[in-house]
Amino acid sequence: MNLDLTADQRAIRDEAGRFLDENSSSKDVRRIVDAGGGTDEALWRTVARDLGWCAMSIPEECGGLGLDMTEMSLLMEVCGAHLACMPLWSTACLAAPLLVETGNERARETLLPAIAGGEISATVAWPALAHAEQLIAISVTARPEGEGYRLEGEVAMVADLPGADLILVPARLPDGTVALFALDRTLPLKITVLKTLDATRPLGALSLTDLAVPAEGRVDENGIGASAAERALAFGILGLAAEQLGAARAVMDLTLAYIGERVQFGRTIASFQAIKHRCAKLEVDFAEARSLVYGAAAGFSDWSGEEANAEVAAARVLASELLFRAAEESIQLHGGVGFTWEYDPHLYFKRAQASNALLGAPEGHLDAIADAIIGRGAEA
């Protein structure tokens, strides 16, 4: 597989990087964090409406650009490097793919074009899944009533929920079918903003108590099937892995810059062999994780079955572990100042810890890999 980026792909990555250098610098991120966290609304409006980042992987017939997962991964990588405070991942990597895979006519004619045009932000109230076979974990139920439905249940943690204009809620019908409902903020929803370690991505808890939803609120086409859910989840997992990869690269770079300037015993600490070995190990780990993320993205259009699921899961595990180790090493190699608020390593460490729990912890993804390689029910 050739993982060299095309000229267009390099242009997407480089232009996105230049834009975020100017509009999502450490100072900009800290402004949002100091205000209590949330979304940088000005940044989000520009990205969603003017730059069309949400349209990247939405089909052209639904108002999007119809590009592949590689282009979306490059954007997510750049966003992760800048810790951009905006709901691009939840909107473009969670909500849009789920509507593409399972959406009915209304979803394709109204919701996807609205997302592509930057008119709305969206998220999905998934439970903490590692792979689609855990659709049995869906905690919201829906019962038909008249021409509509009644929804009941709770989802404990939803990314970017506090500011989302549209919330997609998978819910189980009495016959066992998992349907998809599109809820907007005009409905009487109970949303609890969660206090989180990572103030760059808001989280919320969703509680639905006998919520009346009109018939047009259901936006799936004959239910959410396992294969469609797998593909939509894989898109979100891979987008998250790319974001983690970018954050790891950024915290590694700021660490290298610091140790290249910090003088101890008459020489820069970057010149000490023990420091070199630790940095070299991170570079090797980064190259491994990047290759797997890029490879999974390049082959995503041909995605199918357990092998593809295992590859995406492996990319997520490596990226998650890499970001944690890179942030941890950054704090240590910065020495005493690494623990202070004024330096940036703690922002990346918090992102590492918080993102680790999204769409299933790495242990769940390792189980999925083992299932694919060894086979379900195999004895050790």
How is the chain split into domains, by residue range? Answer: 7-121, 124-217, 226-374
**The whole model's pTM is what?**
0.94
Tokens of 274: 């023990």
Intrachain domains 7-121 and 226-374 with the same fold: no
- Point out the least confidently predicted range of 112-126, 199-213, 279-293, 299-313: 299-313
What is 226-374's CATH number, 1.10.3720.10, 1.20.140.10, 3.20.20.70, 1.20.120.160?
Answer: 1.20.140.10
Token pair for residue 353?
């810890």
374 pLDDT more than 90: no
C-alpha 130/C-alpha 314 separation (Å) is: 12
Axis crossing angle, helix 345-355 with helix 226-261, rounded to the nearest 10: 160
Beta strands in the chain (DSSP E): 122-124, 140-145, 148-159, 166-172, 178-184, 190-193, 203-213, 263-264, 267-268
160 or 361: which leads in pLDDT: 160
Mean pLDDT of 159-173: 96
> Can you tell me the distance from the alpha carbon of 3 to that of 295, in angstroms, rounded to the nearest whole number?
7
Long-range contacts of 353-358 (CB under 8 A, 24+ apart): 353/197, 353/198, 353/324, 354/196, 354/197, 354/198, 354/201, 354/203, 355/198, 355/201, 355/240, 355/243, 355/244, 355/247, 355/320, 355/323, 356/320, 356/324, 357/128, 357/157, 358/159, 358/240
The pair of structure tokens assigned to 47 is 């990205």
d(CA 223, CA 151): 16
83: phi then psi, degrees, rounded to nearest 5? 50, 40
For the chain, what's the residue count? 380
Residue 192 C-alpha from the chain's centroid: 21
Give the confidence band of 380 by pLDDT, cuts at 50, 70, 90. Answer: very low
- What integer is the mean pLDDT of 325-340? 92
φ/ψ of 356, rounded to 5, equals: -60, -30
Please name the fold of domain 124-217.
Butyryl-CoA Dehydrogenase, subunit A; domain 2 (2.40.110)
pLDDT band at 133 (very low <50, low <70, confident <90, very high): low
Candidate from 36-40, 202-206, 328-332 with smallest mean pLDDT: 36-40
- The fold for domain 7-121 equals Butyryl-Coa Dehydrogenase, subunit A; domain 1 (1.10.540)
Question: Tokens for 165?
Answer: 């204009």
pLDDT at 378 over 60: no
